[in-house]
Chains A and B, each alone.
Chain A
Amino acid sequence: MFEARLAKGAIFKKILEAVKDLLTEASWDCGDMGITLQAMDNAHVSLVSLNLRSDGFDKYRCDRNLTMGMNLGSMSKILKCAGNDDIVTIRAQDNPDTVTFVFESENGEKQSDYEMKLMSLDLEHLQIPETEYACVVKMPAGEFARICRDLSQFGDSIVISCSKQGVKFSASGDIGSANVKLAQSSNVDKEEEAVTIEMQEPVSFTYACRYLNFFTKATPLSAQVKLSMSPEYPLMVEYAIDDIGQIRYFLAPKIED
């Protein structure tokens, strides 16, 4: 028996919005420690890695490790049926063919359940190596989304450059060029509005706008986003998910020919 209950059910709705444009299907791995999902997009340019810790749920029971292959378009349709304030429970038997989503209204007067067929997916399990990043930028998630959206009008790529002076986002194309520079916040009352930079060495890499814009679909999950960059390593874009876990996106840089 598997059962995971989350009072803040809207988190699941937001997670699906954050992955469904990048991935069509994925395996949800459930175990004692919690729920994880790891999958590359079809082009193998980016990787999504989601981790939800069991202790972050209001109720969590997992008698046996199980892997549930789901069509994320279908799962998203189901989660759209949940109200923003609903309590969401995901339930499955051992060796399941189906998974059940139960939505309860806050006052307990409405309960709905949706059963979805699982898929048998033959996906690779990947290990993400630990690394010390040359630059780690933390900034408001909304600001990052805005910059990606604005600069996408100028070209297919965004150059992210990080130095002691700050972080710079640049794009250029047929209509001209654009630069957005952010300095490290000197005096911040609200932590979530801060821009902070930890730098070992300056870096500058080029990334595809299309994928950065997919990643920013996670913006409603978190006030801040963390961008980690190193030579010879993919960009990591991380959004914390309350006190339950995080979603990380990895993106291979574009390479000069």
Chain B
Amino acid sequence: TTTQGRLDSFFKVL
């Protein structure tokens, strides 16, 4: 089974 990853850790909040 797979889980959908999220993007939060990839992009820096300015």
A residues contacting B by CB (< 8 A) are 40, 43-47, 124-129, 157, 206, 208, 233-234, 250, 252-257
Contacts A256-B2, A257-B1; is A250 near B13 (CB within 8 Å)?
A: no
In the complex, what's the smallest C-beta–C-beta distance from B8 to chain A, in angstroms? 6
Tell which of A40, A125, A128, A252 touches B5, judged by Cβ atoms closer than 8 Å.
Answer: A252
Q: Which of B1, B7, B13, B14 has the most CB of A within 10 A?
A: B7
Contact A254 B2, beta carbon cutoff 8 Å = yes
Q: Which of B1, B2, B6 has the most CB of A within 10 A?
A: B2
On chain B, the residues within 8 Å of A206 by CB distance are 2
In the complex, what's the smallest C-beta–C-beta distance from B14 to chain A, in angstroms? 4
The B interface, classified by DSSP as helix, strand, loop or mixed, is: loop
Q: How far is the CA of A44 from the CA of B10 in the complex (A)?
A: 11
On chain B, the residues within 8 Å of A208 by CB distance are 4
Contact B13 A124, beta carbon cutoff 8 Å = yes
Q: How far is the CA of A256 from the CA of B6 in the complex (A)?
A: 14
Q: Which of B3, B5, B8 has the most CB of A within 10 A?
A: B5
Q: How far is the CA of A194 from the CA of B3 in the complex (A)?
A: 34
Q: How far is the CA of A44 from the CA of B13 in the complex (A)?
A: 13
Measured as residues with beta carbon below 8 angstroms from the partner, the interface class of chain B is 10 to 19
A sample of 5 inter-chain contacts (CB < 8 A) reads A47-B11, A125-B14, A127-B11, A252-B10, A256-B2
Contact A255 B2, beta carbon cutoff 8 Å = yes
In the complex formed, the residue of A with least CB distance to B3 is A255
Contact A129 B12, beta carbon cutoff 8 Å = yes
Contact A40 B7, beta carbon cutoff 8 Å = yes
On chain B, the residues within 8 Å of A45 by CB distance are 4-7
In the complex formed, the residue of B with least CB distance to A256 is B2
Q: How far is the CA of A250 from the CA of B12 in the complex (A)?
A: 14
Contact B10 A127, beta carbon cutoff 8 Å = no
On chain A, the residues within 8 Å of B10 by CB distance are 129, 233-234, 250, 252
Contact A157 B2, beta carbon cutoff 8 Å = yes
Contact B4 A252, beta carbon cutoff 8 Å = yes
